[in-house]
């Protein structure tokens, strides 16, 4: 049977709080169940140091051995990195390691679905339930361009702070390729989803290039897809006042996508629920012609230093990231759907006091490990 090599990067904080593994441990537990129940393939998991944990061990966030393992892997499952120990004033920080990993692997397409809506969770949305109900968006974020990657200068002049600058840069081809990804995702439903492209074209040159390129690409090559443009400030407002207006695909550049995906993530209930995939191309749906896309899968949330080590973090974003990994990088759609069904069963299950089987971010009392156990239990029933 085929064996798939999965590199696991627990990272920091609630990914793995030094000694105590948290959300990533629950996702690997789920993958082990899939592995044990499937004689026709084998998942080989290996863990590598990354982020702050790697800085502490070897002095750099992305050691060459970790990068090499990622380059050779079929897919990567990551927790999240960063924390106060390696804060913004530290000489060596975890975050550049993640940016280098994304860039080196060419993972330009970041897919962040905010569509795991469940009626049972509506009471936890920060919005009025009737405003949140029916929200169903996939954020497609360009991940290896823009202001994250063009030239910058730190303010290091002593004794004055001096000046610092960052630059934003996009080429037509960078915008074209992410537009194709958004279009492929829009076409994965019948009828196709609408695309909402988000920019700041009233101010930024990059955004005027963005808008023109998106319009040309969609008009010429995907006439069947409806699309519109929004300015990012107004879009951020619409996201909390009438989010369903953005149902479909939200297509945007790196920095705006970072901000809007966190904003959209809480609408279904909690940041802790949402998964993401970072791919070097459009995800191909499992089919006889399935073409695997090398990918990095991680929850949308960060290392949550405020709750790290307490055993209360919600592992669902990481568990659902593992499901995306199986679907997009290995073509194992049945296993992915089984995990998603199990998660839904757990979240929807009633319990005494009406709190369901939920972690604290969703008003429950269940810890990280216990919730993972419940997902495993439900998964064994589904399989």
**Where on the chain is the footprint of ligand IPM (CB under 6 A)?**
82, 95, 98-99, 258
List of residues 6+ apart from 15 with CB closer than 8 A? 9, 22, 23, 24, 51, 78, 79, 80, 81, 303, 318
Catalytic residue among 103, 166, 226, 262: 262
Q: What does the block give as tokens for 225?
A: 């897809």
Asked if 324 interacts with ligand NAD (CB under 6 A), we say no
Catalytic residue among 56, 228, 233, 348: 233
Q: For residue 124, indicate whether it is catalytic.
A: no
Scanning residues 257 to 286, which ones bind Mn ion (CB under 5 A)? 258
Pick one of 21, 63, 83, 145: the residue that binds ligand NAD (CB under 6 A): 83
* H helix and E strand count, the chain: 12, 14
Task: Please provide the DSSP assignment of 321-361 as one string.
Answer: HHHHHHHHTT--HHHHHHHHHHHHHHHH---GGG--S--GG
Catalytic residue among 4, 148, 297, 328: 148
Angle between helices 23-36 and 368-382 (to 10 degrees): 20
Q: For residue 128, indicate whether it is catalytic.
A: no
Q: For residue 153, indicate whether it is catalytic.
A: no
Angstrom distance (rounded) from CA 294 to CA 281: 9
Asked if 302 interacts with ligand NAD (CB under 6 A), we say yes
Q: For residue 222, indicate whether it is catalytic.
A: no
* Cα distances (angstroms) measured from residue 275 to each of 286, 314, 320: 19, 12, 5
Q: What does the block give as tokens for 112?
A: 């962040």
Pick one of 98, 366, 371, 375: the residue that binds ligand NAD (CB under 6 A): 98
Asked if 314 interacts with ligand NAD (CB under 6 A), we say yes
Pick one of 30, 33, 81, 117: the residue that binds ligand NAD (CB under 6 A): 81
The strand pairing partners of 113, in sequence order, are 138
Which of ligand IPM, Mn ion, ligand NAD, none lies near 317, with the C-beta cut-off 5 to 8 A by kind?
ligand NAD
Q: For residue 258, indicate whether it is catalytic.
A: yes
Catalytic residues: 148, 200, 233, 258, 262
What residue ranges bind ligand NAD (CB under 6 A)? 14, 23, 80-83, 95, 98, 271-272, 298, 301-307, 313-314, 317, 361
């Amino acid at each position: 049977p085929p064996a798939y090599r999965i590199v696991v990067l627990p990272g920091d904080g609630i990914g793995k709080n030094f000694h105590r593994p948290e959300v990533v441990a629950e996702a690997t537990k789920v993958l082990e169940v899939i592995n044990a129940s499937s004689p026709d393939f084998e998942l080989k998991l290996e863990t590598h140091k990354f982020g702050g944990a790697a800085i502490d061990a070897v002095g750099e966030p992305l050691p060459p051995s970790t990068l090499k393992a990622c380059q050779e892997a079929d897919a990567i499952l990551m927790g999240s990195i960063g924390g106060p120990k390696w804060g913004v004033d530290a000489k060596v920080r975890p975050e550049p390691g993640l940016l280098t990993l994304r860039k080196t692997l060419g993972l330009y397409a970041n897919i962040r679905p905010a569509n795991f809506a469940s009626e049972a969770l509506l009471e936890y949305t920060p919005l009025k339930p009737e405003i949140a109900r029916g929200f169903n968006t996939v954020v497609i974020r360009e991940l290896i361009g823009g202001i994250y990657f063009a030239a910058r200068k730190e303010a290091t002049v002593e004794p004055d702070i001096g000046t610092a600058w960052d630059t934003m840069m996009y080429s037509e081809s960078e915008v074209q390729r992410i537009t194709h990804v958004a279009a492929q995702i829009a076409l994965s439903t019948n009828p196709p989803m609408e695309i909402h492209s988000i920019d700041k074209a009233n101010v930024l040159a990059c955004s005027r290039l963005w808008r023109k390129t998106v319009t040309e690409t969609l008009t010429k090559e995907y006439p069947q897809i409806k699309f519109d443009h929004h300015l990012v400030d107004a879009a951020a407002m619409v996201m909390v006042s009438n989010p369903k207006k953005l149902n479909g695909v939200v297509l945007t550049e790196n920095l705006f996508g970072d901000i809007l995906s966190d904003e959209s993530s809480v609408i279904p209930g909690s940041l802790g629920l949402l998964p993401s995939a970072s791919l070097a191309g459009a995800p191909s749906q499992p089919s006889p012609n399935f073409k695997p896309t090398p990918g990095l899968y991680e929850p949308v949330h960060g290392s949550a230093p405020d709750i790290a080590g307490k055993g209360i973090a919600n592992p669902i974003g990481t568990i659902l990231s593992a499901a995306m990994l199986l679907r997009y990088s290995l073509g194992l759609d049945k296993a992915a759907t089984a995990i998603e069904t199990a998660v839904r069963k757990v979240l929807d299950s009633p319990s005494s006091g009406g709190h369901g089987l939920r972690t604290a971010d969703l008003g429950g009392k269940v810890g990280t490990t216990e919730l993972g156990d419940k997902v495993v239990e439900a998964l064994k029933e589904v399989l």
